[in-house]
Amino acid sequence: MHYPVMTEKHVADRWQVSLKTLRRWRLDGKGPVSRGFRTRKS
C-alpha cells in the first residue's frame, strides 16, 4: 500500500504535537514510523 510522503511539520500538525516532541519520539523510538530519504547525486 502506498502512503503519501509527509514532512515532519505536517505530521506534527496532524498529531497536534510540537516538532520538538516529534523529534524526541523519533530519538526514543516512539511515535509514527519515520523514513529517511536521501537524494542521489550523479
Per residue in 2-42, pLDDT (tens digit) is: 777 888 899 899 999 999 999 999 889 887 776 666 555 55
User: What's the Cα-to-Cα distance from 15 to each of 19, 26, 34, 41, rounded to whole Å?
Assistant: 10, 14, 14, 33
Q: How far apart are CA 26 and CA 28, in angstroms?
A: 5
Q: How far apart are CA 42 and CA 26, in angstroms?
A: 30
Q: Which three cell numbers stand for residue 18?
A: 510540537
> Does some domain include residue 16?
yes
Q: How far is CA 30 from the centre of its chain?
A: 11
What pLDDT was estimated at residue 16? 94
- For 22, the domain range is 1-30
Tell me the residue type at 22: L
> Does some domain include residue 36?
no
Domains contained in the chain, number:
1
Tell me the residue type at 12: A
What pLDDT was estimated at residue 40? 56
pTM (two decimals): 0.61
> Does some domain include residue 37?
no
What pLDDT was estimated at residue 27? 87
What pLDDT was estimated at residue 37? 61
